[in-house]
């Protein structure tokens, strides 16, 4: 049965204005628009869809993800909502820590000894944070093609490692990275992490569309690890087994968790981290951007400090150069271009069994003039 927009709105407890907005956003189109009067009509079959959209908006889910949920089978949709909510909780945790820090910081503001607090990030206020960076991607010694793709700019850096047969097309990793690149020119107003997550949603759609565009592309996909700087905050998104590391005060910390079957075995205590490093199935991914299930993307916010050095790499580097080898290069080689070159060279010296891609980004504080 056909319903007028008013009747449909009442049935789903939304305003006609909200329904017009959903139409504009591509979330829910009327079943029919009268060509003469412009009146919109809906069908009863659309009631459930409308309620779902409304609930997802109440959750605060970004539009691209709502579209994905609506287009998915129920079980995939459930997994997507669960993954979205896990991200929200992680973000809330980060924000809680930041709020606690701010309360402490601002409480100390009236103290005459506040100059002693200069070691904290906020006391670096009159400085602007910029990045010095370099990127290199190399075939390695044994692969015919380079399926890695990377980008480094003033705000954005990203590494992606594509897989599957893509014929003559650019590697799928390129689709993912290109979808993020507009963020390097301008970050839309709003929450930094949400902005980056939305862009990853776009990247995922680009990869999915490509993977489904031709049966020959079945099984193609990519990892994606990316960071976006705004002010003193770096947002991080990560899916797959490329990695991000932070060198701070001389020690190297991995800040991403591999989405691999073997890492799951480590997490559940079935094998040790050492066994994982040489496990024959170590490159089998548990999450990636591809034509199938929606990926559970990890994300987080980092407060940067002047002197921090971030490094992103594909598994062609981390698979053959142990953390201590990376740390020693990152600590001793000052210029990012040279550090990147040395790391790629190290991986090639160890056989270069895979494509090798590496980004190094140094956090530099520039005094405001």
Q: Which two structure tokens, joined as six digits, stand for 237?
A: 């998104």
Is the Cβ of residue 161 or residue 298 nearer to Mn ion in the bound state?
161
Nearest approach, Cβ of residue 163 and Mn ion (Å): 8
Residues 330-359, interacting with Mn ion (CB under 5 A): 354
Nearest approach, Cβ of residue 316 and Mn ion (Å): 5
Distance CA 312, CA 317 (A): 10
Is the Cβ of residue 258 or residue 354 nearer to Mn ion in the bound state?
354
Nearest approach, Cβ of residue 294 and Mn ion (Å): 22
Spatial contact of 165 and 220, defined as CB atoms under 8 Å apart: yes
**Residues recorded for the chain:** 369
Binding segment for Mn ion (CB under 5 A), chosen from 61-69, 150-158, 206-214, 313-321, is 313-321
If binding is defined by CB under 5 A, does position 87 make contact with Mn ion? Answer: no
Nearest approach, Cβ of residue 354 and Mn ion (Å): 4
Helical pair 47-58 and 5-12, crossing angle rounded to 10 deg: 60
Residue 284, CA atoms < 13 Å, CB-side half-sphere:
9
If binding is defined by CB under 5 A, does position 241 make contact with Mn ion? Answer: no
- List the one residue out of 226, 225, 62 whose CA is nearest residue 153: 226
In 142-193, where do the E strands start and end? 148-152, 156-163
In the chain, where do the E strands start and end? 2-4, 32-33, 40-43, 127-138, 148-152, 156-163, 221-222, 224-230, 233-239, 243-248, 251-254, 289-290, 298-303, 309-313, 356-367
Among 87, 298, 315, 362, binds Mn ion (CB under 5 A): 315
Backbone angles phi, psi at 282, to 5 degrees: -65, -20
If binding is defined by CB under 5 A, does position 258 make contact with Mn ion? Answer: no
Spatial contact of 167 and 33, defined as CB atoms under 8 Å apart: no
Is the Cβ of residue 80 or residue 148 nearer to Mn ion in the bound state?
148
Distance CA 241, CA 222 (A): 10
Site size for Mn ion, by CB under 5 A?
Answer: 5
Nearest approach, Cβ of residue 146 and Mn ion (Å): 10
Among 87, 161, 258, 308, binds Mn ion (CB under 5 A): 161
Binding segment for Mn ion (CB under 5 A), chosen from 34-42, 137-145, 160-168, 193-201, is 160-168
If binding is defined by CB under 5 A, does position 298 make contact with Mn ion? Answer: no
Spatial contact of 367 and 337, defined as CB atoms under 8 Å apart: no
Nearest approach, Cβ of residue 272 and Mn ion (Å): 23
Nearest approach, Cβ of residue 113 and Mn ion (Å): 51
If binding is defined by CB under 5 A, does position 80 make contact with Mn ion? Answer: no
If binding is defined by CB under 5 A, does position 362 make contact with Mn ion? Answer: no
Nearest approach, Cβ of residue 355 and Mn ion (Å): 5
Binding segment for Mn ion (CB under 5 A), chosen from 88-96, 171-179, 210-218, 315-323, is 315-323
Which residues contribute to the site for Mn ion (CB under 5 A)?
Answer: 161, 314-316, 354
């Amino acid at each position: 049965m056909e319903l007028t927009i008013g009747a449909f709105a009442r049935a789903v407890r939304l305003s006609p204005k909200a329904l017009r907005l959903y139409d504009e956003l591509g979330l829910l189109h009327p079943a029919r628009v009268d060509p003469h009067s412009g009146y919109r009509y809906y069908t009863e079959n659309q009631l459930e869809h409308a309620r779902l959209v409304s609930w997802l908006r109440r959750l605060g889910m970004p539009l691209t993800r709502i579209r994905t949920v609506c287009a998915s089978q129920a079980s995939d949709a459930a997994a997507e909502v669960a993954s979205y909510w896990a991200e929200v909780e992680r973000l809330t945790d980060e924000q809680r820590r930041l709020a606690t820090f701010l309360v402490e910081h601002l409480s100390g503001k009236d103290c005459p000894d506040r100059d002693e607090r200069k070691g904290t990030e906020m006391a670096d206020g009159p400085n602007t944070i910029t990045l010095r960076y370099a990127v290199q991607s190399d075939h390695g010694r044994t692969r015919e093609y380079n399926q890695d793709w990377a980008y480094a700019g003033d705000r954005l850096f990203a590494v992606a490692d594509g897989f599957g047969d893509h014929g003559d097309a650019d590697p799928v990793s390129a689709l993912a990275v290109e979808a993020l690149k507009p963020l390097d020119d301008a970050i839309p107003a709003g929450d930094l992490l949400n902005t980056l997550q939305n862009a990853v949603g776009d990247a995922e759609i680009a990869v999915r569309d490509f993977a489904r565009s031709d049966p020959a592309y079945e099984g193609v996909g990519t990892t994606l690890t990316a960071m976006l700087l705004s002010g003193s905050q770096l947002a991080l998104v990560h899916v797959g087994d490329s990695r991000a590391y932070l060198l701070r005060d001389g020690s190297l910390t991995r800040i991403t968790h591999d989405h691999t079957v073997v890492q799951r075995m480590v997490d559940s205590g079935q094998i040790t981290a050492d066994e994982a490093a040489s496990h024959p199935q170590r490159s089998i991914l548990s999450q990636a951007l591809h034509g199938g299930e929606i990926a559970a993307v990890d994300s987080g916010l980092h407060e940067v400090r002047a002197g921090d050095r971030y490094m992103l790499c594909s598994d062609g580097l981390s698979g053959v150069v142990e953390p201590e080898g990376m740390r020693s290069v990152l600590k001793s080689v000052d210029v990012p271009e040279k550090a990147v070159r040395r790391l790629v060279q190290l991986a090639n010296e160890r056989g270069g069994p895979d494509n090798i891609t590496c980004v190094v980004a140094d956090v530099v504080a520039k005094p405001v003039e």
